[in-house]
A = this chain, B = another copy of it.
Amino acid sequence: MSSKALPYRPHNHAACVQQALAGARAVCKAQNARLTPTRERVLELIWQSHKPLGAYDVLAALAEDGHNAAPPTVYRALDFLLQYGLVHRIASLNAFIGCTHAGEHHTSVFLICRSCRNALELAAPSVADAVREAAAAQAFTPEETTIEIAGQCPNCRHD
C-alpha cells in the first residue's frame, strides 16, 4: 500500500497539495479548529498520495520525518481530519484520502482502481439523491453514507 504511481491524470501535484493545505487552514480557521503541525503533516502526507493511505503507512512516513510517533498519534490526527471533513476514510480499504471538497457539504462516491489503486472522489449528486430516496422509502434517517466502487480505471482497463 505504498508504491508510487501516476495520479489519475497528470498534473502538478505539489501545487495540488499546497492548495489543499491552504484550503484546510481556511476551514480550520473558520471553525476555530487547531490544525497543529502533526495534523497538518498527516494531511500533507495523505494528500501527497493519490492512493488511499493506511494509518500505518502514515505512521511509517512520519517515522521517515524523524517523528517517532505511536499509533494513537496518527489515529488522533486522522480523527481530527475526518471530523472537519478534510479527509475521508475508505472503509473497504481501511485507508484514508484527502477530501477534494473540504468545507462543502457533500455525499461522495469513490471510484477505486484495483490495479493502480488510485481513488477518485466524485460529488455525484444523482447518486446522493437516489440514496436519499431509497432511505426515505424505508423511513430511514441517513447520517453517514459510504459509497465505494472498486473496479478498473480507464488507464488500467487493458491489462
Contacts and interface: CB of A to CB of B under 8 A. Distances in A.
A118 to B, nearest CB: 11
Given A91-B146, A141-B152, A141-B157, A126 B135 contact: no
B120 A138 contact: yes
A144 B152 CA distance: 10
Contacts of A131: 109, 124, 127, 147, 149
Contacts of A133: 126
A83 B113 CA distance: 20
Nearest to A138: B111
Contact of A151 (B114, B120, B143, B150): B143
Given A140-B154, A146-B147, A109 B134 contact: yes
Interface residue tally of chain A, by bracket? 35 or more
Given A91-B146, A109-B134, A134-B109, A140 B127 contact: no
A145 B141 contact: no
A92 interface: yes
Of the listed residues A122, A127, A143, A150, the one surrounded by the most CB atoms of chain B closer than 10 A to its CB is A127
A18 B31 CA distance: 53
A153 interface: yes
A142 interface: yes
A147 B140 CA distance: 15
B146 A146 contact: yes
9 contacts: A113-B140, A114-B143, A120-B138, A127-B134, A129-B130, A140-B149, A140-B152, A144-B151, A146-B147
